[in-house]
Structure 1
Amino acid sequence: MSDQSSPNQNQNDEVDLGQVFKLIGNAFKSLFQGIANIFKGLFQGLILILLHFYKRIFWYVGAVVIGLIIGFILNSTAEKSYGANMFIETNFDSGRQVYENMKQLNQLAGDKDTIELGRILKIAPDEASHLKGFYIKPNTDINVIAEMYSEYYQNLDSVSQTQETFEAYRESLSDHALPVHQIGVASTDKFIYKRIEKNFVKEIASNEYLDELSEVNAENLVRHKETLENQVNKADFLIEEYLKIKIAQSQKQESGGTNFYIGDAESDESSVNEAELLKEQLRLEEQKREVFQKMVAERDVLNVVAGFPSSGYDTREWTDKYIIKVPLALFSLTLLVFILLGLAKYLRAQEPSEG
């Protein structure tokens, strides 16, 4: 009996497999037909769009030409907008004052208060009328922030060090806490920047407390420099005396070497040789160089890292120019009108006919 049922079972299996392959074939056929229909629909839509523009080409060309003419006229008569940047470095935590004063100047420019703006920058009101905006943002290099984080991290206790990451520290920094900033000024006068630079730098950091702090810091640096110079002179004197003693000792045949003692130092504890004196001299010279550098870097409340250029540059983007914006606007308006006319025609066609 088992031999007789086997052929029937094989035949049923072949029928089932045939139906499965047929279903798979139909699915692929439907998929390919669907993809083909999508491409056909896209192609037909593209043809309709091209046909629309082809039938109304003169309308669109006319709109673009009129837009170019109007845009050219507007560009010729409109005031050009120029911009220039300055980079500053703040000292004595003066960033807050700089940002506040920049907000004030920008507000005066926005309000067109040319009298007050001219008074602050020591220029005539008609010159101040060309100033359109004042802007500031931090421009500190990531490496400088990393150095600031390293110094900050070393001053933390062991528990805080495990919690304070570089990213958290960087996000916690306010704009005015960073040392270097970029200042931008917008104007319709291309050559105003050098005329306002000196008074502008003076005014954005104007603060009596900061000025006094700068003066005290300068005096302290001068005293520090004088102290270092005295120490260097003493080190030079000691080295010179040491060499004299060494020469004198070397001329004695029974000399067992030369030791030089400072003050009441014991001979077995605090002898100083030439190498130690030279190291001390080099250390003092290095401190002198650092003081000289600070006397320049911290001479004023803020340092001008890069001043304004001799003339401003056109800051308008291509999208800001009328010769681009007006033709695009008229072209879009023409397209919108035809869309509305086509929609109105379609709606009238859908109205039920009166029977």
Structure 2
Amino acid sequence: MSDKLPQQQQNSEEVDLGQLFNMIGNLFTRLFNFIGSIFKAIFSVFIYALQAVFKNFKLIAIVMILAAIIGFVLQRTQKDVYESQMLVKPYFDSKFQLVTNINYYNALIGERDYNQLTALFDINEDEAKQIIGFEIHPGPENENDQLVQYDKFLKGLDSILAQEVDFEEFLENRSIYSGDIFEINVKSFKKDIFRSLEEGLNSTFTNTYSVKKMQKRDSLIAIDRRQILASLKDVDSLQKVYLSVMEEESKSKQGSYTTKDGMSFIQEKTKTREYELLEEENKLRKALAKLDAQKVEEDVFFDTLSSFQDVGAKYTSIWNRYVLIFPALAFVLLCLVYLIRRLTKYVLSYE
């Protein structure tokens, strides 16, 4: 009796394992059947679509040819569009005023306020009517520029938030104001108008905030300059003192003397710090040169890195190629009409 119990338990375990393997096999079978049904459905849709195209091939060909002809004629009658780019580097946060003014110019074009445009750019009304629009984008940059912007961004955050923003996320979500160089793009029907617009665009960088910021920068530079010059004067005075001490010591007889008792003494040389003073002087002069260079380099509200071309380049876009767009739209429209007709027949015949 006791020998039969282990044998029955073993048979029960074998049955359980068999059922488990059968369940796993059925699960994989259902999964493969499901995947196969998806591919079969996709293949069926593809075949049905080809059948519809073959059955209505003549109609589709005629409609698409007519659409291509209409698109070609319309494309030939459209005016040529020209574009030109300008690269600028704003200072003193004048980039905010630049972006605001670009949006303002586009609003004037949308409202057809040509009088205001002629006053802003010093052009005549006919030339103002030829302007299509302005665009502004971040200028060209390398990975080092992006890393500098990222480091500057992190310094404005606390330590907890800085850990949550990685470099890739920063690049995806940064605003147009993050960069230092900007590309201004202008489109126009007139190919040689761009040079005339440059002077008007240059005036967009000046605003009260930028002027005050420049004046504040100049005042701080003047204060730092006075402090550095005063320090240089002190260093020069100390150098003269050390020099006079050294001259006095050199005049003494070999730096020694003898008393009446016949005892000889050697006079110790005064310890001076000529090397430290020289290092301090070089450090101060470098700081002074840096201040002067900063004022010279940023003495304007912007720098023009690349001006508009005398003659703009012809603007081409896939959306302006009507000879291709119209046939594609016609084909999509035919597909929608076909689907609507089939759906209508199915609904009416449904019981």
TM-score (norm 1): 0.67
SS in 1 for 2:79: coil
- Superposition pairs of residues 1-355 of structure 1, within 5 angstroms: 39-136=39-136, 141-146=145-150, 148=152, 162=159, 165=162, 178=178, 180-188=180-188, 189-202=190-203, 204-207=204-207, 210-211=210-211, 214=214, 254=254, 271-273=272-274, 275-313=275-313, 316-347=316-347, 350=349
Q: Describe the SS at the equivalent of 1:68.
A: helix
Task: Output the CA distance in 1 between the equivalents of 2:310 and 2:13.
Answer: 91
The CA distance in 2 between the partners of 1:8 and 1:229, in whole Å, is: 104
Give the counterpart letter for 2:193 in structure 1: I
Structure 2 SS opposite 1:299: coil
Question: Is the Cα contact below 8 Å between 1:225 and 1:288 reproduced in 2?
Answer: yes
Question: Unaligned 5+ residue runs, structure 2?
Answer: 257-268
Query: The residue matched to 1:115 in structure 2 has which SS?
Result: helix
| Amino acid of the structure 2 residue aligned with 1:201 | N
Aligned-pair identity (%): 25
Match of 1:184, SS state, is: strand
Residue 119 (structure 1) shift: 0.8
Cα shift at 1:329: 0.7
Amino acid at match of 1:50: L
Structure 1 residues 5 and 228, CA gap change in structure 2 (3 angstroms): closer
Superposition deviation, residue 300 in structure 1: 1.5
SS at match of 2:299: coil
8 A contact 2:225–2:291 mirrored in 1: yes
Q: CA deviation at 1:200?
A: 0.9
Q: Distance in 2 between matches of 1:180 and 1:96?
A: 11
The alpha carbon displacement at 1:115 in A equals 1.7
Over 3 Å counting, the alpha-carbon distance change for 1:296 and 1:73 in structure 2 is farther
Structure 1 distance, partners of 2:43, 2:174, is: 55
Matched residue pairs, number? 330
Q: Which amino acid aligns with 1:336?
A: L
User: 1:3/1:69 Cα in 2 relative to 1: closer, same or farther (>3 Å)?
Assistant: same
After TM superposition, give the deviation of residue 211 of structure 1 in Å.
4.1
1:41-82, Cα deviation, whole Å (9 max, x unpaired): 444433222122112222222222222222222222223444
Relative to structure 2, which stretch is displaced further, 10-19 or 325-334? 10-19
Q: Is the 8 A contact 2:75 2:320 kept in 1?
A: no
Query: Helix, strand or coil for the counterpart of 1:339?
Result: helix
Report the secondary structure of 1:180's partner residue: coil
Listed as ranges, the gaps of 5+ residues in structure 1 are 154-160, 257-266
**CA offset at residue 120 of structure 1?**
0.6
Query: How far apart are residue 299 of structure 1 and its match?
Result: 0.9
Distance across 2 between alignment mates of 1:167 and 1:10 = 57
Residues 296-354 of structure 1: CA distance to partner in whole angstroms, max 9, x if unpaired?
33211233344445554556542453223211111112222333333444455x278xx
Change (3 A) 1:53 1:167: same
Q: Partner of 2:300: helix, strand, or coil?
A: coil
Matches of 1:52 and 1:199, distance apart in 2: 58
